[in-house]
Structure 1
Amino acid sequence: MLFIADAFLGLFVVGPNGGLATGLATAAEGTPFRFLNGLSVDQHTGDVYFTDFSSRFLQSQILDAIAANDSTGRLLKYDCRSKKVRVLLSALSGANGVAISSDPPETIAYRTRRFWLRGTRAFTSEVVAKFPGRPDNIKRAPSGDFWVAVNIPRTEVPSSVPAEIRINGAGGNLQTLPLDQYYNTTVSELLQRGSRYYAGSAQADFVGVFNT
């Protein structure tokens, strides 16, 4: 199954044989999705965890959301058995991606938050990492840690330099991978396969590929 978080249309799924995508949800608890951004599937339960960047602003209005310090983002769960969507966290400042066993990065607040799914702390959350720039999507690394795309502003000129920061489940900074070759390009996420890295951007018309 391939699940899709469409920024404009909602949550979709494509079956194992391909074909047209089927719509699963366009709202949660009475509030329509405005800007879905990233998802992760629990491989044990099949449930889908995803984020809505804002409950007020569309993807095309992201700069307005940042300027307004919007904090209406949400962390959501699609239950594959009940076929219903539940709001797990609200009042997030630009909820921008999720990874199972980790947290939704908050782009506007420069931080990432851990949400506990099980155990004695289930359904509670805490801030575990803060960044020197705006974090975007979070992806699992082959090591079991997490890569977070971070776009670091430069004060001397109106520009930014992207980097990927690898953190563990407790938010500890393990590695910083500068992406100077993509200077002034906003990097949205990093996917690692062995020694090869794939950098994506919501603004650029290419996918960056490089080795370390």
Structure 2
Amino acid sequence: MATVSLLSVSVAILSIFVVVSGQFASFNKLELPPGVSSPESAAFREFLLFTEGPYTTVFDGRIMKWQGPNVGFVDFAYTAPGRNKTLCDGTTDPDMGRTCGRPLALSFNPTTGRLYIVDAYYGLLVVGPTGGPALQLSGGYKFLIGVDVDLITGNVYFSDASLTYDIGDIRRPGFKPDSTGRLLRYNPIAKRVDVLHTGLSGGGGPAVSRDGTFVLLPEATGNRISKYWLAGPKVNKLELLLNNNGSPNKIKRAGLFGEFWVALSVGFMPPTPLITPLGVRFNSDGVVLQTVSFATQFFNKSITLVQEQNGKLYVGSRLTNFIGVYSN
């Protein structure tokens, strides 16, 4: 079973709150349609010299695509079989998830244009470049929460938050998280799912390195980020990379090779009088390079996504009706 190394933890603790002033000071909103909320994940489709998106998951079970300021977000895909638009569109009822779907994370395969989706109720799914109903690839999970595609092999790495509780249990009085989360891998050629690591504390979105040698794992309730090696002398081993003073959610590759962004909510686990939402940029050695606060526009709100695209930061939260866009 995997082993844990404490290398680079002390550096990370000392530098986690280093704020680079004057960065990403300009703010704009990409607003969802009226009544639609919870854009907690996003993905961009890159092909040739063009970029499409962001595509985002929303509370009522849809994946929506940004078509520019004159059009806004439009329907792209959905995860629930036979989803009824009249019944589901705009719903805010958490008990409608099994009927309408609850997609939580997205990742494109840039070569094929296929969009991989994890849904809290419907498992791992995929949809083609034209959208529509997503095809379930693997089901039977309690609470899938994150997904990322290996840019080299096309393998899909995804994570579940728990083997014992689902997304509905989180809002119940007296809820206590456990440490039964897992890292899984789907091979699209063999159509097989392998369990790579168990015992994760809470969910988040994994991120595969650009060279495919490791995958980063955030543990939202464990307040840490680990590195699981996919190749090299440490293959199949887990090492602790960052001890966070806050709850890490989705991790995304940054613009520069070997760098990443993580959405961090300080005060979220356990709750304090005020939650501080941060974007933290770090490298593959666990050295924090930049910390950006989003406390003004996301006051007292936890965030789930910080994604860099074309020099801008796209910030998502399950508690808003917009994606925040920060630029220099």
> TM-score, normalised on structure 1?
0.90
Of 147, 154, 157 in structure 2, the residue corresponding to residue 39 of structure 1 is 147
Post-superposition shift, 1:147? 0.4
Question: Which residue does 1:11 correspond to in 2?
Answer: 124
Question: Which residue does 2:264 correspond to in 1?
Answer: 150
Question: Conserved in 1, the CA contact under 8 Å of 2:267 and 2:274?
Answer: yes
- Please tell me whether residue 55 in structure 1 is matched to residue 171 in structure 2: no
Question: Which residue does 2:135 correspond to in 1?
Answer: 22
Post-superposition shift, 1:157? 5.6
Deviations 1:175-194 (A, max 9, x none): 11111121211110111113
Q: Which moved more, 1:62-71 or 1:75-84?
A: 62-71
Post-superposition shift, 1:167? 1.1
Q: How many residues align structurally?
A: 207
Q: Following superposition of structure 1 onto structure 2, how do residues 45-194 of structure 1 map, counting pairs within 5 Å?
A: 45-62=153-170, 67-101=175-209, 102-144=215-257, 145-153=259-267, 158-181=273-296, 182-194=298-310
Residue identity matched to 2:132: G
Q: Which moved more, 1:89-98 or 1:148-157?
A: 148-157
Unmatched segments (≥5 aa) in structure 1: 27-31
Identity %: 37
Change (3 A) 1:176 1:67: farther
Residue identity matched to 2:161: F
Separation of aligned partners in 2, 1:157 and 1:170: 30
The structure whose Rg is larger is: 2
- Please tell me whether residue 208 in structure 1 is matched to residue 328 in structure 2: no
Question: Conserved in 1, the CA contact under 8 Å of 2:187 and 2:193?
Answer: yes
Unmatched segments (≥5 aa) in structure 2: 1-113, 210-214
- Please tell me whether residue 196 in structure 1 is matched to residue 296 in structure 2: no
> TM-score, normalised on structure 2?
0.59
Separation of aligned partners in 2, 1:183 and 1:116: 36
Change (3 A) 1:67 1:14: same
Q: Which has the higher contact order (CA 8 A, sep 6+)?
A: 2
Q: Which moved more, 1:152-161 or 1:11-20?
A: 152-161
SS at match of 1:185: coil
Question: Which residue does 2:109 correspond to in 1?
Answer: none
Residue identity matched to 2:319: Q
SS at match of 2:168: helix
Question: Conserved in 1, the CA contact under 8 Å of 2:146 and 2:203?
Answer: no
Change (3 A) 1:7 1:113: same
Separation of aligned partners in 2, 1:45 and 1:146: 20
Question: Conserved in 1, the CA contact under 8 Å of 2:146 and 2:206?
Answer: yes
Instruction: Indicate the RMSD between aligned Cα atoms, in angstroms.
Output: 2.1
Post-superposition shift, 1:113? 0.7
SS at match of 1:40: strand
Separation of aligned partners in 2, 1:90 and 1:138: 19
Residue identity matched to 1:39: V
SS at match of 2:147: strand
Deviations 1:2-58 (A, max 9, x none): 1111122110011234332111001xxxxx311111211012111100110111111
